[in-house]
Structure 1
Amino acid sequence: MVRLSLVASLFAAVASAVTVEQIGNKKGTTRLPGAYIFEFEDDSDHTDFYSKTSADGKTRMEFDYKLFKGASIQFNDHERAEDLASKVLELPAVKGMWPVKVYGIPEPRIDWQGTPGQEYATMKKRSAYETVKDVFSPHVMTQVDKLREEGYTGKGVKVAVIDSGIDYKHSALGGCFGDGCLVTFGTDLVGDDYTGYNEANPDDDPMDCQGHGTHVAGIIAAQENSMDFTGAAPGVTLGAYRVFGCTGEAGNDILIAAFNKAYEDGADIISASIGGPSGWSEEAWAVTVSRIVEQGVPCTLAAGNSGDVGMFYASTAASGKSVTAVASFDNAETVSILNVSHYTVNNATTRYEFGSQAGTPDAWTGVKLPLWAPSYDTNVTDGGCDEYPANTPNLSGYIVLIRRGTCTFVEKATHAADAGAKYIMVYNDEAGIIPYDVSPVENIKAAAMVTPEQGKKWINLLKAGSKVVVEMSDGSDGKVTVEQVPNDLTGGALSTFTSWGPTWEMDSKPQFGAPGGGILSTYPRSLGSYAVLSGTSMATPLMAGIFALISEVRGTLEPELIESLLSASSNPQLFHDGFSYSEFLAPVPQQGAGLVQAHDAAHATILLCPSSLSFNDTDNFVESRNFTLKNTGKTDVEFEISHVPAGTAYTLVEDSIYPDSFPNEFASEGATIRFSESKVTISAGKSVTIEVLPTPPTGLQAERLPVWSGYVAINGTDGSSLSIPYLGLTGSLHGSTVLGSADAWVSQSTDEKLLPVAENTTFTLPKAGTVQDQEDINSTSTTFPTLVWFLALGSSNVHADVVPVKSNLTTGNYNVPSNGSVGQVADFPLMWSSMGQNSVSWAGELADGSYAPAGMYKIVYRALRIFGDEKKTSDWDKSESLTFGITYAK
């Protein structure tokens, strides 16, 4: 952890194919064909709205909330939906319209999961002097342990969890639902069978059948349990708002309803580990969450798990104004849950305990065999990677002990099996244990892994000539050990999977972060009761718990204040590419203010706000910003103000319009920052406003959109060490291409790789009007044209016009309008799109409900540039597909 007061000495010493919004399939963020959200004017008469929509569609959701009144409508005729929706928008009672989008259920990495129906009891308890002290590593990293030691638990705070529900019958989550329970309030908005694409069947029971929400809930508020941990704020009461079925996705209309319901049910904090790429604050769900925050309810949302994509991949609704977007840091300790087994040495009666994690296959029941190792070198980097010598004994009566490294697990297992082995045990070459799969190798019945320390102990015994007999457990007895060893590789670093900001309008995202990599928490009883998962999904509920603790300490839930307190006291971390640290701080678009320090924030007497400063891009450069320091203590404090630059990251690949992928290329140049005052004394009870005047770095390749950032460091004579993150961009977002001239093509609906078809390829489509939606397309054997386009950067508005070219397939008059198009592809325009590849299979339908006549066409895409004016032709990028033909079956 790097305090900015110490960073100066440290510094003295020292084009990605992105699949983003998809239309018509279930990858990324999906737009639901023919469905729209409409917001009403306050206190307006909605009679005309329902009379117009009832004839052409059905109501998915009604929103009768204080902060959002309206409805989502599923139009029956998807091909005419855009035209119908546009006409509804013209009604006096309607003030806004958005398409319904569907967000996938979060898929965190599963590092360990219990066995269904098994009761677990850890064999490795805290020592007696640790019975009160919180030693759970995510809590220690964020100073939650210090607040818990002071007696703070979040008592009296109501935290709503928007997710897959909560297994409230779990003993660590209270065992019941309702008054007097831990999970006190909430509801199921969807039902078990909801997938995001079908009708929701709400009920009053928010029981989790998927898993994600139960893990999230435990991170916030798990009670004492057999696995020897608790949630960050076990004194809170939880609300469970279920927005996912047992499988599938969730519409943003459901999410809007859930957030508003939680708000009106009196939630003090709302947390959701859900999202999808956007980067726009104007998207419907983001707008909703922002309104709730403005009413005084903090909302913590996951920044996203797409760190490999690179810059400008902020997730919605975390991208909303005033919404707290949470980044992930890797756990300082690697957590492994191991089955307890035993071994003996030289046939002695003493049985030694050890822990192992089963791999695949895992037929360890009743296995009691001696160990044999192909090498006694505990530093060998290629253990088991070569064929075993001819004089190797038949290994069918042994468990073969192999060090991890170099070649694949399957290769190791293959060489062992060739020598007769049926059982293999790998000892890791780094901290912790991971599962692995060698099921493709015939004759291997079971595999497992142990820690480096255990493996070395066994190797040394074997090397000394001892006989080591291992008696394996298959885990059916429920006896496990929790191994927590220092994560020397990435502990405390930004998780490489954590998504980067900023937003397309240069708002700073994320705000800050918490541990999300390798987190032990509760899991539904039917899925094993406990699990170790990794994702920003895990960092976000920890942050919600921290908000609850701080609110108990300070007696306020004011979102701006708590966010500013956490931002000011966070510890910025050095950049880590997954292999090693760099000698510069990770950019603000990756870590925000840094790793939060809850105790420092809760007890701060020096208030620093706002939580971040953005100076925008060169076109919209803000020459100065202000921050305010307020001394709420009892003595005068003198402050020294300076700044520390972070890494300047290039957004685009050199000589390209396309985004670079993680780890982006960095420049050594940083901004120069001047302050209206570099030293200031603030009397008790007084405040001072400081002006920040940046000079952007020179020598950068502006066309690559370098984002420069860093931290204003404020160090006081009272020992306070505060900081505020800043960022800016050299170059023009408006002047950058969002859609390349050759970045549109036509593929076949049967081609998973979406490769371009040859020029003039003709598709025979079903009779016009017989295909209603993507589900119909997927259910037929017909090959449809798939329209593909790639956005180099995000666009708030994308059009796709169907333009005829000369053809002998013409069967009638085109009635071509003045712009040369026969119409726009159904379900266009697209609003608030992120960057990356997009596709839709097309049955010939147009946005007005008609069908393009048989003929030869190009699809002409137009994408509005960032900060663009829709009325200016020059603000739109254009790309044309190749020529292709369509005919219709008789």
Structure 2
Amino acid sequence: MKKSSVVVTSILATACAAALATGQGSDGVQWLESLEPAPAATSTEPVDESPQRWFVELSGTPIADGGSATQLQSEKKAFRDAARSARLKYIEHYAFDGLFNGFSVSVSRAQLSTLMRMPGVRAIYPVETIQRPETGTIGPAMATALAMTGADVAQSELGLDGSGIKVAVMDTGIDIDHPDFGGAGTNGATTFPTSRIVAGWDFVGDAFNADSSSALYNPVPSPDANPDDCGGHGTHVAGIIGANGQVKGVAPNVKFGAYRVFGCNGSTTADIMIAAMERALADGMDVLNMSIGSTYQWPEYPTAKAASRLVNRRMVVIASAGNSGGTGMYSTGAPSVGDKVISVASFDNTHTRQSVFTVSPDNTRIGYSPASSAPPPPTAGSASLARTGTTSSTADGCSALPAGSLAGQVALIRRGGCTFHLKALNAQNAGAIGVVIYNNLAGPLNPSVAGTPAITVPAVGISDTSGALLDARITGGGASLTWTAETGSFPSPTGGLLSSFTAYGMSPDLQLKPDIGAPGGAIHSTYPLESGGYATLSGTSMSAPHVAGAAALLLQAAPRTSSQQVRNILQNSAVPQLWSGNPAFGLLDLVHRQGAGMMKIDQSILATSRVEPGKLSLGESEGGAVTRSLEIENNGTAPVTYTLSSVDAIASGASTFVPQFFLPKTGVSFGTSSVTLEPGAKAVVGVTFTPPAAPVGGQYGGYLVLTPDDGSGVLRVPFAGYIGDYQARAVLTPTANGFPWLAKSTGDTYLKQDEGATYTMAGSDIPYFLVHLDHQARLFRMDVVDAATGRVWRRAMQTEHLGRNSSANGYFTFTWDGMVMAGKRSEVAPDGRYVMRISVLKALGDETNPAHWESWDSPVITVKR
């Protein structure tokens, strides 16, 4: 699974060992060694991350914010007319009025600057391609996940089931035949809409796939009225929210709206998401779950803005924070970074449901996961267990074994040293009739033995502790393995900790994201009947629907709760969890990764007091101490006194792509140490934060704790901020490849032009600029400079709110078509010698402050048509 040893050898390390895994940097701050594996080293090869499909935002106000439909149509006509006059060649995919004003279009890179220069264009944003997570085959029961969030208590003791609430699921659709949603099952045909899936639409059709690298690439939607699911992800998500059958979801009596934005395979695009949002609004949904998103984006990204507008229109919107934790800080995706959207992190489930074999002499039950690309394990039969060797070089199975040395036996092999395929192949060639690979790190193992030649014997993965037990049995005189048809629930060593994949915040405008967490690591739920009916998935895709179901329970219990209040209520009662990097430290995990912590819906519903705001985003600490106010309200029937305190969480370092962990001290002082509230009373308390001085460029955080004297639930408010001057953060970093580049296109690649180049400005013979963004940029500008005088002559283009690159070697490609802006019109730059000045305004920067800008001047560009 996800935890590995770097310095300390066990996730259950003693306090003494944990202390040895810390140190002190040159700035005096204490750093902490994580047991999670560091991100894998990446190649220095540059990676082109430039999109070819773009959102075009026009200047008018969308209908959801009070805009005029007539005015919006007039703006769109003006854009189309101007594009025709400018000979802009583009494909218009969608036009939006309700939640976003603009289009999604495809345009060649050669004409990107032309698109940016069109009159009436406020900004352009990449239309991200969104991948769907892979599936597993077996996993934890939903019951253990429901217990983690208190949803089981809300159902059994509070009598809540989501009745009367409509929840929209924007995903791959929902299997309308599934009996857990009231369908007819495999023996009948269900007609849509059904008694539980009451609304929806298929925006794409079965064959749609937006992944241009796939052999099944088909970007042309074929919409229809039936959102039945053939991909599986949406049925799984819906099951977590509200299945009522073999799987029982969080809110098992909600009604569903199914908005299908994926085909049977592959990816979708962000513009289709906005189309689905507008449909969900028209259908009167109360809650929207979006277990999809676009990483590294701003709250201004179109899906994020559209989602916040839905909240303004009385819909609770929940979105997954994203599975991009391995790519570092500021990786939370849109729409979850939307100002009013509930962004959800993922915690691992407390238990893992696995298939079982037993081991002699006492029939000890061992849970296992079948290896992918191997035959399925049998459900009966016994064989003796044997190791592949007695030394470290042979016990890992990486060396060829004597023919027949494992004949008729099941081979026990330790992870490490070579691929799972080679281990299994060596055992198979030695005559083994099965392979059991055990983890060399804490937790279960889910191996793949894919490779050539194919593995033809069953292969499975087990945990490190189970492997040690089997090894001891073999050493002690031998043991036999018996396959069974049983499954069992086994405790997970990472249960209740943040999942390794869950994304880091904050958002680029330093708003605290994610907002809250829920179980998302290895969740067993419904799946299309033709694919087995049930399956296991992991991801923030699975944590978001826990919160969507919880929102339905809250709205059922308190129907007058506004969409704007739900997030605060859930955050007040959430419980922050220990650091997944090493829980033995006893320290709380990063606030900008877990938000308020693990959701506790039963406590949220039972709470009689409320604190607003539900979170505090403290911004950058360049100005020193920061003061905020809390409003505490007692809605109960008896007086209550709250004692105020605070606790720090782990901080992260300055690096964007490689997480670093520290323990700084935040000074927190309250205007009063306690507050007594009579029933119906409110009080405002000032809180002053003195941010840590180091590590500069890192993010810090913690929790304000309000402890009542009446035994009711503790209330908490998470806080987070940036250490130092945010505008000192580098954006235009050169990377290992020396970006930015002036380049020429050769079709498939780019040639760097160190000494300048001559361009005819015909076809693709135009200047290309390869730019790496180490952080999100507020503004991106290209100005044409006269090479002779060094003065800015005209602006080539400007856009805003660009996301960062996903890796240290990623880059975006920009072009200049030889046109410049002259007031509200464009004109041709005459032949001559120019320099392109590329400038970025830092996140939250002041446009009038030169210190908040970074710029790069290209080599001389000669235009000779």
TM-score by length of 2: 0.80
Query: Which of 694, 709, 714 is equivalent to 1:717?
Result: 709
Q: Which amino acid aligns with 2:605?
A: A
> Is the CA contact (8 Å cut-off) linking 1:324 and 1:511 kept in structure 2?
yes
1:193 Cα deviation (Å)? 4.1
Give CA-to-partner distance per residue, 1:55-112, whole Å, 9 cap, x none. 53665334353x55x44264878755654665541xxxxxx744253233344354x2
2:129 equivalent in structure 1: 104
1:149 aligns with 2:150: no
1:63 aligns with 2:96: yes
After TM superposition, list the pairs within 5 Å mapping 1:333-348 onto structure 2. 333-336=351-354, 338=355
Q: Which amino acid aligns with 1:878?
A: S
2:641 equivalent in structure 1: 638
> Is the CA contact (8 Å cut-off) linking 1:615 and 1:621 kept in structure 2?
no
1:833 equivalent in structure 2: 803
> Is the CA contact (8 Å cut-off) linking 2:357 and 2:481 kept in structure 1?
no
2:32 equivalent in structure 1: none
Q: Distance in 1 between matches of 2:770 and 2:330?
A: 22
Q: Distance in 1 between matches of 2:465 and 2:657?
A: 40
1:327 Cα deviation (Å)? 0.9
Instruction: Pick closer, same or farther for the CA change 1:250–1:238 going to 2, 3 Å.
Output: same
1:238 equivalent in structure 2: 256
Q: Distance in 1 between matches of 2:533 and 2:742?
A: 47
Q: Distance in 2 between matches of 1:438 and 1:47?
A: 54
1:240 Cα deviation (Å)? 0.9
1:190 equivalent in structure 2: 204
1:163 aligns with 2:171: yes
Instruction: Pick closer, same or farther for the CA change 1:484–1:82 going to 2, 3 Å.
Output: same
Q: Distance in 2 between matches of 1:153 and 1:835?
A: 43
Query: Which of 444, 448, 451 is equivalent to 1:436?
Result: 448
1:725 Cα deviation (Å)? 0.9
Structure 1 residues not aligned, in runs of 5+: 1-9, 90-95, 115-121, 125-133, 473-479, 653-658, 772-782, 807-815
1:679 equivalent in structure 2: 674
Query: Which of 568, 574, 582 is equivalent to 1:570?
Result: 574
1:113 equivalent in structure 2: 137
Q: Which amino acid aligns with 2:93?
A: R
1:245 Cα deviation (Å)? 3.1
Instruction: Pick closer, same or farther for the CA change 1:842–1:393 going to 2, 3 Å.
Output: same
After TM superposition, list the pairs within 5 Å mapping 1:392-471 onto structure 2. 394-404=405-415, 408-417=419-428, 419-421=430-432, 423-427=434-438, 431-437=443-449, 439-440=451-452, 445-449=457-461, 468=480
SS of 2:276's equivalent?
A: helix
1:693 aligns with 2:688: yes
How many residues end up aligned between the 2 structures?
791
Q: Distance in 1 between matches of 2:91 and 2:176?
A: 34
1:819 equivalent in structure 2: 792
1:458 Cα deviation (Å)? 6.7
1:660 Cα deviation (Å)? 5.1
Q: Distance in 2 between matches of 1:46 and 1:352?
A: 65
Query: Which of 239, 242, 254 is equivalent to 1:218?
Result: 239
1:581 Cα deviation (Å)? 4.3
1:49 equivalent in structure 2: 75
1:732 equivalent in structure 2: 725
Q: Distance in 2 between matches of 1:758 and 1:60?
A: 35
> Is the CA contact (8 Å cut-off) linking 2:345 and 2:516 kept in structure 1?
yes
1:269 Cα deviation (Å)? 0.6
1:708 equivalent in structure 2: 700
> Is the CA contact (8 Å cut-off) linking 1:586 and 1:647 kept in structure 2?
yes
Give CA-to-partner distance per residue, 1:312-355, whole Å, 9 cap, x none. 2332111111211111111112233x3x7799999xxx999986
1:210 Cα deviation (Å)? 2.6
Higher mean C-alpha deviation, range 264-273 or range 420-429? 420-429
1:118 equivalent in structure 2: none
Instruction: Pick closer, same or farther for the CA change 1:672–1:481 going to 2, 3 Å.
Output: same
1:745 equivalent in structure 2: 741
Q: Distance in 2 between matches of 1:18 and 1:283?
A: 30
> Is the CA contact (8 Å cut-off) linking 1:633 and 1:684 kept in structure 2?
yes
2:225 equivalent in structure 1: 204
> Is the CA contact (8 Å cut-off) linking 1:105 and 1:250 kept in structure 2?
yes
Residue identity over aligned pairs, in percent, reads 28
Q: Distance in 1 between matches of 2:199 and 2:156?
A: 28
Q: Distance in 2 between matches of 1:715 and 1:331?
A: 28
1:800 Cα deviation (Å)? 3.7
SS of 1:213's equivalent?
A: helix
2:284 equivalent in structure 1: 266
After TM superposition, list the pairs within 5 Å mapping 1:751-790 onto structure 2. 757=752, 759-760=754-755, 768-769=762-763, 787-790=769-772
1:376 Cα deviation (Å)? 10
1:877 equivalent in structure 2: 854
Q: Which amino acid aligns with 2:103?
A: S
1:871 Cα deviation (Å)? 4.9
Q: Distance in 1 between matches of 2:641 and 2:76?
A: 63
1:546 Cα deviation (Å)? 0.9
Query: Which of 495, 502, 512 is equivalent to 2:506?
Result: 502
Q: Distance in 2 between matches of 1:141 and 1:105?
A: 29
SS of 1:277's equivalent?
A: coil
Instruction: Pick closer, same or farther for the CA change 1:79–1:870 going to 2, 3 Å.
Output: farther
> Is the CA contact (8 Å cut-off) linking 1:764 and 1:887 kept in structure 2?
yes
RMSD over equivalenced CA pairs, Å: 4.4
Instruction: Pick closer, same or farther for the CA change 1:357–1:874 going to 2, 3 Å.
Output: closer
1:169 Cα deviation (Å)? 2.1
Q: Distance in 1 between matches of 2:593 and 2:331?
A: 10
> Is the CA contact (8 Å cut-off) linking 2:385 and 2:478 kept in structure 1?
no
> Is the CA contact (8 Å cut-off) linking 1:101 and 1:251 kept in structure 2?
no
SS of 2:488's equivalent?
A: strand
1:569 Cα deviation (Å)? 1.2
2:312 equivalent in structure 1: 294
> Is the CA contact (8 Å cut-off) linking 1:188 and 1:205 kept in structure 2?
yes
Query: Which of 838, 841, 844 is equivalent to 1:867?
Result: 844
> Is the CA contact (8 Å cut-off) linking 1:142 and 1:595 kept in structure 2?
yes
Q: Distance in 2 between matches of 1:309 and 1:353?
A: 34
TM-score by length of 1: 0.78
Q: Distance in 2 between matches of 1:345 and 1:696?
A: 59
> Is the CA contact (8 Å cut-off) linking 1:301 and 1:326 kept in structure 2?
yes
Q: Which amino acid aligns with 1:360?
A: S
Q: Which amino acid aligns with 1:187?
A: W
Instruction: Pick closer, same or farther for the CA change 1:382–1:751 going to 2, 3 Å.
Output: farther
After TM superposition, list the pairs within 5 Å mapping 1:75-86 onto structure 2. 83=114, 86=117
> Is the CA contact (8 Å cut-off) linking 1:605 and 1:632 kept in structure 2?
yes
